[in-house]
Structure 1
């Protein structure tokens, strides 16, 4: 089947659309807020199979703008310690790997200006610089993965992380705490969405979380059950709290994943759920010299624990462009 036909069928299969994108687009720029799945290279690499690009960079290129991050750091070792990033290259992609909805991803600092900058702070930074969103800008918001998985990280909650890695289900009291934490994060994202709309966004594209249990980082049955439940809790709360506003377009990321993972071969993938394109497990990124096998950036769907390969990012970018009424170039 020709590639353009596969993409058209993919767009139809996945797009159960609660809102209708513009029939004729007049967008000139895209603004991005989020975490590593959207990051354009804040830390000197991209959370994928480098030198491949993230979906957001491909979308930015579609609109003819620089596909660059808003700030940078000289060393990845400076991240997660409350240290501030360095100015430039001043792109419209504010996403930073490790970002959460509103809280810092750090056990040593609560400074919301420390890298990675939470999405709520990303938006405030944009508004401080630009004042408001322009009529010809489209805004993208994808956050929540790090909030859901936060305490699976041994650096954040060693006891819970060990329990899950030992394939043991947490006590119900712990799960109540974790569900409540996911609810608060989703409420924070919804609040950020309202802020974006209140400052002139003509179109706000919001990504729901997929069922995160298919990601390679979650090796045990218990860890997969844990993130499956919390990602569902997050999505339910987010959709409940979002305003009923026709300017919002929801991206059903889970349906996009399911469409490809249910029949990976027809989309050119030989490895799907739970398989990592990076040779070493639980990496943040890899490149051509550290792939699990030659061309894994094209034949695997996932890479670097919680992220997408070059090929998967390209397909996601095409789907997103179709979703907002743009024809991929």
Structure 2
């Protein structure tokens, strides 16, 4: 089945009228879409678990048949976009969970757990743990991911489409600080805002290093995710903090003259639109449950004799054997408390592709697709 036959929809955000068109195509069929013949575009990706194409796959796939933060074996949005442009996105490094990072040769630098510029990230081993840098997730900061790319390749090529996201783990890390000590709220808000500034500065660095086609994704509305039901922070407060992050990021991009030179993806509005029209888009469960059964995942870890089985309860370790139900990858929006399922990832990828196609900042990309550059 060709890519053009898969789920089709257009979502306009920020006051633009919304239209959704759904073709009766299953996520499994869409995953098998034939890549287009347009092979001139190479995808480079930086970010966190939303964009991680398999940093921890050697461990997660060997023991759990997992490997990415979704309903495995499904692919994520960055892989779908790469496929759309005729590319294959592979991890730049693999390792973690007892193994140091080793080069893999790909251009997917995003790592699960990464914050924008600081450590520790989410899912890293506690300080003092033997080999703490790679005992669990490595979570290399996104700032360091970009530095590593530039040390390896020196600059970005004109035929590269750069995808970058970040900030979610800075949000989660600092929400955790508030949960443990509410008096740290002012410091937490400052830290989250600083992460937005740092993400904008990273985009500037990528642009100065030759990046001509850059897609920047802001923070989604995680108050709509199952996570919001598990933290003692009101949903309206989570929304306010996320909107503050997104507005700061936008201001920084504007201040650097980049707002009209990059494609800024409004993930916040996108999630709200999809949740609001979830049933029309083929979801049976929108925000109240997870496609991956955390209890089954921790049970599998326990049977394997792994230390602290609760660590292995997110979608990185999810497979059809631990789905909440057989078609969970298509029926649910969320794989775990925050990560999108295969179905949701497909919709996100197509939305980003449409934004790229209509953006003035990526008009030169069309020439690449036609082989004119």
Indicate whether the TM-score tops 0.5. yes
Structure 2 equivalent of residue 232 of structure 1: 243
Structure 2 equivalent of residue 302 of structure 1: 334
Deviations 1:134-188 (A, max 9, x none): 11111111101100011445xxx4xx44x5xxxxxx74x4221111010111111
Q: Aligned-residue CA RMSD in angstroms?
A: 2.7
Q: Which consecutive unaligned segments of at least 5 residues does structure 2 have?
A: 17-37, 58-66, 296-312, 359-365, 367-373
Structure 2 equivalent of residue 96 of structure 1: 111
Q: Counterpart of 2:233 in 1: which secondary structure?
A: helix
Q: Is the 8 A contact 1:67 1:91 kept in 2?
A: yes
**2:102 alignment partner, one of 86, 91, 98:** 86
Deviations 1:231-270 (A, max 9, x none): 1221121111112323211101112111211011110001
* CA deviation after TM superposition for structure 1 residue 201, in Å: 0.9
Higher strand share: 1
Quote the Cα distance in structure 2 between the aligned partners of 1:184 and 1:239. 13
Q: Is the 8 A contact 1:214 1:273 kept in 2?
A: yes
Does residue 278 (structure 1) correspond to residue 292 (structure 2)? The answer is yes
Deviations 1:65-89 (A, max 9, x none): 232110001x5355xxxxx41121x
**1:188 alignment partner, one of 189, 198, 212:** 198
Q: Is the 8 A contact 2:199 2:249 kept in 1?
A: yes
* CA deviation after TM superposition for structure 1 residue 211, in Å: 1.5
**2:344 alignment partner, one of 302, 309, 312:** 312
Does residue 321 (structure 1) correspond to residue 371 (structure 2)? The answer is no
* TM-score of the pair, normalised by structure 1: 0.81
Q: Which consecutive unaligned segments of at least 5 residues does structure 1 have?
A: 18-24, 79-83, 164-169
> For structure 1, which segment, 131-140 or 284-293, has the greater mean C-alpha deviation from structure 2 after superposition?
284-293
* TM-score of the pair, normalised by structure 2: 0.72
Structure 1 equivalent of residue 275 of structure 2: 261
* CA deviation after TM superposition for structure 1 residue 15, in Å: 7.7
**1:128 alignment partner, one of 151, 160, 166:** 151
Q: What count of residue pairs does the alignment treat as equivalent?
A: 295
* CA deviation after TM superposition for structure 1 residue 16, in Å: 6.6
- In structure 2, the CA distance between the partners of 1:15 and 1:132, relative to structure 1 (3 Å rule), is farther
* CA deviation after TM superposition for structure 1 residue 271, in Å: 0.5
Q: Is the 8 A contact 1:101 1:185 kept in 2?
A: yes
